[in-house]
Chains A and B, each alone.
Chain A
Amino acid sequence: MAQPYRYIGKATPRKDGLDIVTGESRFVDDLKFERLLHGVVVRSPHAHAMIKSIDSAGAKGLEGVRAVLTREDIPDFKYGNPRVFRLLDRKVRYVGDAVALIAAESEQIAREAAGLVAIDYHVLPAVFDDYEAMEPGAPQLYEEFPGNVLPLGDPFLGQKSMVEIRTGDVADGLSEADVIIAGKCGYDNLPNPMPMESPRVVASWGRGVEGRDCVTFWISNQAPYLMKVILGAILGANLDVRVFGGPCGGSFGSKLMSWQPMCYAALLSKNTGRPVKVVYSKEEHLGSFVLRPSSRLDIKVGMKKDGTVTAIAGDWLIGTGCYSQTTQAQVAVGCGEAMIALRCKNWSVKPKIVCTNRTASGIARGFGGQELKCALFPILSRGMEKLQIDPLDFMKKNFIKPGDGYLWRDAQWYDYRGISFTAMMDRGAEVFGWKQKWKGWLTPTSVEGAKRIGIGVGVHGNADVGEDVSEAYVRIDSNGSIVVHSCLQEHGTGQRSNGAKVVAEVLQTPLEWVSMTPADTMVNPFEFGPFGSRGTYVILGAIIRAAEDARSKLFEVAAPMLGCAASELDTADGYIWAKSAPKRRVRWQRALFQRTILGYGRFEPDYSLSNCLMSFVEVEVDTETGNLVLQRVVNATDVGQIIDPQGLAGQLCGCLGTAGIDSAIFEETILDSSTGRILNANMIDYKWRTSSEMPTIDNVVFQTPMPTHRFHAIGVGEIATAPGPSAVLMAASNAIGAWLDSYPVTPCKVLRALGKVGNAGNKQRAHTARKRGAGD
């Protein structure tokens, strides 16, 4: 449905585009500071140990070292959910856990000094497997969490949070079913969200303008205001926290868990009286930062011949590593997302979060729902196969439609007020050629020698498109230039340019008239940050309201000049006129003489809408080598109204990496089961797709107006990674004619599924597979 928009839906240049391609953008590492020190972390070699003593004399004696801080030198900062994880503790809980902090004149000196800190440990037994962690006698990570089980619920979500999926009566539901599948499946290969730029920060602790202590952070993140809230809570109330969010080389959610490097830099700065930069190496990024949570399902599903799901009941185990910051929230959102994807009257899914001796899990695109559904869909596939149901028909039938509802993260029931996505799914299938290619379950689309083609499909939807609060000001200066006050940091999606774009559309000005404030918490109102595809509806929603408010205020000033009511006015290109007499115009500058207009916009959460993305994948599997090649992806979605076509295409094509589709193909974190070390903490052994191996990606984008903001758009970026992994598992299973139910689909697993590699000589592997309960 074409709207007569001036900018919306049209390709417009990104405001930061020229700076990025010419290298002018100032990322954290490009910022210049006088007397800057470099901070590094001394990390534990043990997965679980008590620190008996630390001798830092050697490190302190090295020329150029300005501070060596241990637990005793710093305040007892704690964070996490629950708030028990210490910045520096007497106990280390994973290989790479922080033991001491060093600031020196150069990173090289600091790293060398790190090697000179002598630490005496009392090594404790460690546990790495989520199931083993819950067994009696397992090593205990925290006194507070007997059995290594963390409480559910997240105060960030409000007074209540979703701690299980429970509706109807599963016994009734199972009794109605034509087939009952009992199955186990894990999505537990711990892929890394992997922003290109590793975590980094500069902190400067000093006296603020009014004499209060003040710490200023320059961050590479996606949520400066939220970081201010988090850091304020950790660092204490008697301190001003100011955060600058500059351009960010990707986050994919993960960098919201940056309180540790930020506090390291802040404390080193406080101690030395100088600004301190902490930059994680790629190895630290991969080996001591955020992984996707592991997810293991053990459930029963009832299904009818027509594809109706009558009941889903069982246990969902989520592994969070050494602590949780957001895992409870991911569980809450994941539960809701399962209900959006599957209409089912009878649910009883009980989540449990367990901690183990590895680096922490946290935010990654797909936030809980990807984790749950990547384990759920392969189990559902078994039921569909038994009943000979085409998975496309199943997903079309069961994805949420008007008249349905779901429990969301706050455990409240929401009646869905969005649209049906069925026509969009049909069009996606047509572009992909699903009908021609689908030959039935466990049947390849085609066979040529050892190479077999298989297809699969997945779907995802998320009601976080309307989550949390955003605020913005739109300021019109006396010269007519427009400034948008938003604490939106550019993390790669182009959303800051879209902020300016919607304001230019509302006020009908040239794009160049509109600029954004830097993402500085001192000058901007509250902004939760771009998470959960909320940018389009929530962040832009607040900015649009602020622009509309500014427009109204401008009209109120101009109305007497034109001798009519403000409501009768219109504006474009810096002129205002009455709609009834468009020839008589007043220039903005006249209305703005010695005046600034300030519009305010606020968005209150709305969980009654969902986005939707369906991904179709085609893979080629070599039955002799076990190799899998992703040949083609078709993503189908409905975004209501395209705001930024290139940005949208970028988000949809981002379905592959960053713990997305490739988490079913080769992305995984390999944890050594005896030492707890991450063995592939580098970009050769962590298999990350290179740009020279891109499959064909086609995107089908519908524009059915959504009941959101003025432009009826909805965000979809965050979920681009979510439908693909289970689709790949389905496609690979169909290609080889045998079930694959473990991520990623490595050559070894393919050859084993084909019976070409026995368990002889692979005993350990077989043991693990049994524990994970692969198969039904």
Chain B
Amino acid sequence: MKTFDHYDAHSLDEALGLLANRCGKARINAGGTDLLGLLKDGVLPRYPELIVNIKTIPGLGYIEEDGERLRIGALARLCELAGSKLLRERYAVLCEAAGAVAGPQIRNVATVGGNLCQDVRCWYYRYPAHLGGTMECARKGRGPCFAIKGDNRYHAILGGRKCFAVCPSDLAVAFAALGGQMTIVSPRGERKIAVGDFYSPLGNGLADDEIVKEIDVAKAFGPGRQRFLKFTVRKPIDFAIVSVAAVTEEKNGVFANARIAIGGVAPGPFRAEKAEEKLIGKKPSEALAAEAAEAAVEGARPLSKNGWKIEVAKALITRVIGS
């Protein structure tokens, strides 16, 4: 790891000022579970001169309901989400997604904001510098996407363009199903963006001088069902190969509402709207679940080695909806 300056910020304004001053040569750090690995491996095209620690900013770790919305501070830790009574009772999908991330040591330090903003796990993008040099790729601003002709077994089957890395965040999938939105602050003020719209094939929507402050979710509709399922090779530690978050509500024996998001298959959480449409107004059954699963992956365009992820996604959706 190269040398960098380290500064403990005590307010959002102070942190924003430091980011602005360094013109893209500063990075914020909360739990550090993603950033430190990137720095150690020398992966980032621009190595930061300054690390701004935002853990020292007070009052950004809340999980609370406020009128019509659930509000979660960006510094709330994943262990706190996983253990939250409020979430377990009313936003179970968030609870399950947070609890499905990595292992306890990571969840004890990793934050919601960091989980949403973490970098992709593409093994070409992450190839370490000291093992023969990093790989210059489309995501880094120059070069091809090596995954297209290479080993793309874990890459995107939907929505990839120029870069086929997938969004690794479990919480993004749960928030997308809940219709969550992020509040992002910068010297220019505040803006809001839906979690589902935050990601693009070449990176997330956070500018160099921006910080995620909060994620909020409209109060869950009625007494519904929420489920999160994650498929990995190893149960703990691993990032999702495919994950599914579903929020459904039944009235009079039929689906009245349904929101389904798929993770691990696209540059961001993929909202399976065609599957949702299949469900509305119909009686839950295994056959319906299978039909919805087929609809969910309609339009998937696998690369040379990742067609199997379609089957995994279908199985997960069927299980989430059908069980």
Given A626-B312, A672-B146, A762-B307, also A682-B128 (CB < 8 A): yes
Nearest A-chain residue to B314, judged by Cβ: A624
Contact of A45 among B133, B234, B235, B312 (CB under 8 A): B133
Q: Is the CB of A675 within 8 A of B130?
A: no
| Of B148-156, B169-177, B189-197, the one with at least 4 CB within 8 A of chain A | B148-156
Given A45-B133, A761-B302, A764-B305, also A679-B128 (CB < 8 A): no
Q: How far is the CB of B146 from chain A (nearest CB, A)?
A: 7
- Cα-based distance from A282 to B254 in the complex (angstroms): 53
Interface digits, A239-252 against B, CB 8 Å rule (1 contact, 0 not)?
Answer: 00000000000000
Which chain B positions have C-beta within 8 A of A567?
A: none
Which chain A positions have C-beta within 8 A of B310?
A: 757
Interface digits, A736-765 against B, CB 8 Å rule (1 contact, 0 not)?
Answer: 000000000011100110001110111111
Which of B212-249 touch A at CB < 8 Å? 231, 233-239, 241
Can you report 18 A-B residue pairs in the complex whose CB atoms are below 8 A from each other? A108-B1, A108-B2, A624-B311, A625-B312, A625-B315, A677-B135, A679-B150, A684-B237, A685-B123, A690-B103, A690-B237, A693-B234, A746-B233, A757-B308, A760-B307, A761-B303, A762-B305, A763-B304
Interface residue? B121 (CB, 8 A)? yes
Total residues of chain B contacting the partner, CB 8 A: 45
Given A96-B132, A666-B233, also A626-B239 (CB < 8 A): no
- Cα-based distance from A685 to B318 in the complex (angstroms): 28
Nearest B-chain residue to A750, judged by Cβ: B308
- Cα-based distance from A760 to B300 in the complex (angstroms): 13
Q: Is the CB of B236 within 8 A of A674?
A: no
- Cα-based distance from A760 to B132 in the complex (angstroms): 34
Given A625-B231, A672-B150, A693-B236, also A761-B130 (CB < 8 A): no
Interface residue? B129 (CB, 8 A)? yes
Q: How far is the CB of B242 from chain A (nearest CB, A)?
A: 8
Taking each of A625, A627, A748, which has the highest tally of chain B beta carbons within 10 Å of its own beta carbon?
Answer: A625
Which chain B positions have C-beta within 8 A of A489?
A: none
Contact of B234 among A666, A675, A746, A747 (CB under 8 A): A666
Q: Is the CB of A748 within 8 A of B130?
A: no
Q: Is the CB of B308 within 8 A of A681?
A: no
Contact of B315 among A40, A43, A108, A624 (CB under 8 A): A624
Q: How far is the CB of B15 from chain A (nearest CB, A)?
A: 26
Interface residue? A114 (CB, 8 A)? yes
Q: Is the CB of A45 within 8 A of B149?
A: no
Which of B277-323 touch A at CB < 8 Å? 302-305, 307-308, 310-312, 314-316, 318
Interface residue? A703 (CB, 8 A)? no
- Cα-based distance from A486 to B3 in the complex (angstroms): 45
Interface residues of A, Cβ cutoff 8 Å to B? 40, 43-46, 95-96, 108, 111-112, 114-115, 281, 283-284, 287-288, 450, 622, 624-627, 666, 670, 672-675, 677-682, 684-685, 687, 689-690, 692-693, 746-748, 751-752, 756-758, 760-765
Q: Is the CB of A43 within 8 A of B131?
A: yes
Q: How far is the CB of B264 from chain A (nearest CB, A)?
A: 13
Q: Is the CB of A762 within 8 A of B304?
A: yes
| A interface, over-half SS | loop
Interface residue? B7 (CB, 8 A)? no
Interface residue? B127 (CB, 8 A)? yes
Nearest A-chain residue to B41, judged by Cβ: A283
Which chain B positions have C-beta within 8 A of A675?
A: 135, 146, 150
Q: How far is the CB of B127 from chain A (nearest CB, A)?
A: 6
Q: Is the CB of A681 within 8 A of B131?
A: yes
Given A672-B146, A690-B234, A690-B236, also A751-B130 (CB < 8 A): no
Q: Is the CB of A684 within 8 A of B312?
A: no
Interface residue? B62 (CB, 8 A)? no
Interface residues of B, Cβ cutoff 8 Å to A? 1-3, 41-42, 103, 121, 123-124, 126-133, 135, 146, 149-151, 153, 231, 233-239, 241, 302-305, 307-308, 310-312, 314-316, 318
Q: Is the CB of A674 within 8 A of B150?
A: yes
Given A692-B236, A765-B305, also A284-B150 (CB < 8 A): no
Q: How far is the CB of B272 from chain A (nearest CB, A)?
A: 17
Which chain A positions have C-beta within 8 A of B124?
A: 672, 679
Q: How far is the CB of B156 from chain A (nearest CB, A)?
A: 13
Nearest B-chain residue to A286, judged by Cβ: B131
- Cα-based distance from A761 to B153 in the complex (angstroms): 11
Q: How far is the CB of B33 from chain A (nearest CB, A)?
A: 11
Q: Is the CB of B153 within 8 A of A748?
A: yes
Q: How far is the CB of B311 from chain A (nearest CB, A)?
A: 5
- Cα-based distance from A693 to B103 in the complex (angstroms): 12
Contact of B308 among A670, A687, A752, A764 (CB under 8 A): A752
Which chain B positions have C-beta within 8 A of A764?
A: 304-305
Which 7 residue pairs across A and B have the least CB separation, nearest first? A624-B315, A748-B308, A679-B123, A45-B132, A45-B133, A761-B307, A95-B132
- Cα-based distance from A95 to B241 in the complex (angstroms): 28
- Cα-based distance from A674 to B311 in the complex (angstroms): 27
Nearest A-chain residue to B150, judged by Cβ: A672
Q: How far is the CB of B97 from chain A (nearest CB, A)?
A: 19
Given A108-B3, A625-B312, A672-B150, also A758-B131 (CB < 8 A): no
Given contacts A627-B231, A762-B304, 7 further A-B contacts (CB under 8 A): A43-B130, A283-B130, A666-B233, A684-B238, A693-B234, A756-B311, A762-B305
Q: Is the CB of A288 within 8 A of B131?
A: yes
Q: How far is the CB of B284 from chain A (nearest CB, A)?
A: 18
Contact of B307 among A114, A287, A689, A757 (CB under 8 A): A757
- Cα-based distance from A44 to B132 in the complex (angstroms): 5
